[in-house]
Structure 1
Amino acid sequence: MDARLTDTHTADTGLVDSQRAHTLDELDLAIVHALQIQPRVSWVRMGEVLEVDAVTVARRWDRMVRAGMAWVDGYLSPGHDEGVYAQIEIDMDGRLSEDTIGQLARDPHVLSLKQTSGGRDLLAIVGATDLDGLARLSGDRVSQLPGVRAVRSHVITAAPFEGASWRLRSLTRQQRSALTMERPAVPDEPLRPLDRRIALALGTDGRMPLTELAQTVGASAATVRRRLRVLTGTGRLSLRCALARPLTGFPVSVVYFGSVPAQHLDETVSALRTLPGLRMCSITAGAHNLVLDIWLPTLSEVHTTEALLNSRLAHLDLRITERAVVLRTIKHVGRVLDRRGHSLGSAPLNYWDA
């Protein structure tokens, strides 16, 4: 579990502290929104759309990244990858060991890690090459960590909605249209070793320049450009611009565990897509076949949101069987976070080499 943590901070801690105190203004939020739509857009193009000098845009983004407030990264989508993913619940023996939490956060099998209220201490999304690898991960690897008392796995059979689809509301319709690119029609094909290297490199910096990316993965720039087109066109590679949750206006994160008859799953997922704070929807093979990660403005909306779900989807027999407030997000899609939700660095998903 010695996956390398890539530090995104400058060595000048005074500079970092002053940057973290920076309050995001409208231009900062517009830049983040633009990168949510097109994560690898050039600064020149973004400057044209926002009517701001490209140098100013680049400088603003660099400041946010260095402060750990925002970042762009890439990962192989659970809904399209050839591996096996699971939500795993981890019970501790009465106290949370920071050493154990740190090992989990840096584990290349762990995509996300949360400390929650309710019937488990930690909730993680993990990846493995196959079901046997998942069994060894939960049974031999995670369960043997200091302080771990029990591990329960729920295999993810589909992930129809991911946080990469979530958007701020800072740009006008015209600006959004100017940045939106149609996904190219490309043939679906098996993942290649090069594709995994590309995903791993972009996990540390989703805006890594093409020439640097090509050098990192050991391929020509033309080949990498072509593979990126295929990976993004098929949805196998998710590129997302993330903003520290407290800065989004949705400081509360809640995980709802629900059940719905199998014949209603597709219709339920379609209805859920309009839920404003929905960050991820996982379909699992377990006691709960639906796990929803939802961001909310206030704690008081935990129950009103549940009531809304139950009322709007009552005709589909949806039942929310449990809800858990996220007390702390330790790792979010390969990004290790501090207690304020700011990025400390990246520990990308890399189960295929681990």
Structure 2
Amino acid sequence: MLTETLEPDDLDLVAALQLAPRVSLQVLATTLGISTGTVSRRLTRLRERHALRVVGQIPWWVDGATPHHVWISTAPGRARDVATAVADLPEAQFVASTTGRADVYCILHPRRREDAAELLATTLPSIAGIVTTHSELGLHRYVSGSTWRLHRLTPEQERTLTAHRHGAPPESPVPMDDDERAVAAVLHRNGRASAAEIAREAGKSASTAYRTTQSVLDRGLVQPRVEIEPALLGYPLEAVVSLATSPASMRGIATALADHESARYVTTVAGTSSVIHHGLFHHEDDLATFLSDDLGRHPGITAFEVSTVLSVLTRYWSPRQ
């Protein structure tokens, strides 16, 4: 497990990027009160030494595909091998070895709804070392990694950076045309790609790349987000909490948990659980307080199971180890 924490100046830079992932170096420098050269050097160091990436998150409902949350039990001693094999699947959005409910927890996102049956019933169980799997269908996401952030900046700094954010994601499926898909694919890999870089990689004219990039960002079809290991930010403890709730309280609980400071990912699901809360914590006492006090405030929660993350192999399709 990572124990190193970034220096305060680097934490400030990450916090600024979380608010405005595509903002220019000049705006970052002015907002943080440092030179553009210093910003550039720190950003390069964060990329090279700590694997910081800005990626483009594409809301899963834009094209109508649906993620599946899967807990995997493995044969003794095979958890790492299984996690590695799952991470190699093109559908693997998030993969981690865990302790608690299962040995491996993952989010699998088939490209098309009709591909889910083959993925869950044939491809996944055929991986050597898997004993059992349990999957739950994602229904509605209330918060994701694109919104979780550090709270280090002044209100004035936050206002400056927030002005450079792009549009909120659409609430319902929105079909993308070929140009939009090509641009989204580039932004998915590099959320800070310039229009010139996008034009070159997508094989589009400069004007088409610029116009389409602005369109997909302003309409929220791509959500730029910072990816870096939470332990480096002072959150070495990561847990996935599966909640069973009464039917009437499911949405209210998910909405309330989405506002919790630990919430990195909150979604309702169809399965034995009702709500999944993927949270980041400073230490075990924080998790204990969350489980006993914060969850205890909701009488609609009837049971919960906790999977503590041991190591992450993939975050939002990005290899982490």
In structure 2, the residue matched to 1:334 is: 317
Q: What's 2:295 paired with?
A: 310
Work out which of the residue numbers 278, 282, 287 in structure 2 matches 1:293: 278
**Compared with structure 1, are the counterparts of its residues 320 and 224 closer, same or farther at alpha carbon in structure 2 (3 Å cutoff)?**
farther
Scaled by the length of structure 2, the TM-score of the pair is 0.90
Question: In structure 2, do the counterparts of structure 1 residues 190 and 177 end up closer, same or farther at CA, with 3 Å as the change threshold?
Answer: same
Note if contact 1:310-1:319 (Cα within 8 Å) is conserved in structure 2.
no
Report the TM-score when normalising by structure 1. Answer: 0.82
- For the residues of structure 2 that align with 1:149 and 1:241, how far apart are their CA atoms? 35
Deviations 1:55-108 (A, max 9, x none): 210111001101134221113123544212110112212222644433322322
Return the offset for 1:300.
3.0
Mapped contact 2:79–2:103 kept (Cα < 8 A): no
- CA RMSD, 1 decimal: 2.4
Which stretch shows the higher mean deviation, 231-240 or 207-216? 231-240
Residues 189-226 of structure 1: CA distance to partner in whole angstroms, max 9, x if unpaired? 41234434333323332222221122111222333333
Distance in 2, matches of 1:21 and 1:318, equals 33
The total of aligned residue pairs comes to: 317
1:245 paired residue number: 230
CA distance in 1, matches of 2:186, 2:166: 22
1:285-339, CA deviations, whole angstroms, 9 ceiling, x for partnerless residues? 100011110111112333321112333222xx1234211111111111112122x
Instruction: Report the Cα distance in structure 2 between the residues aligned to 1:185 and 1:99, rounded to whole angstroms.
Output: 38
Instruction: Specify the alignment match of 2:147 in structure 1.
Output: 165
Cα offset, 1:173, TM superposition: 0.7
8 Å CA contact retained: 1:81, 1:236:
no
Q: Does 1:57 align with 2:42?
A: no
CA distance in 2, matches of 1:228, 1:262: 41
Cα 1:99–1:193, aligned 2, differ >3 Å: closer, same or farther? farther
Inter-partner Cα distance in structure 1 for 2:95 and 2:16: 27
Given that residues 256 and 320 in structure 1 are in contact (C-alpha distance below 8 angstroms), is that contact kept between their aligned partners in structure 2? no
1:126-145 paired onto structure 2 within 5 Å? 126-145=108-127
Code of the residue aligned with 2:210 in structure 1: it is R
The unaligned stretches of length 5 or more in structure 1 are: 1-19, 339-354
* 1:259/1:320 contact within 8 Å kept: yes
What's the CA shift for 1:152?
Answer: 2.0
**Distance in structure 2 (CA, Å) of the matches to 1:81 and 1:199:** 12
Q: Is contact 1:36-1:242 (8 Å) kept? A: no
Greater Cα offset, 163-172 or 262-271 = 262-271
Q: Unaligned regions of 5+ residues in structure 2, if any?
A: none
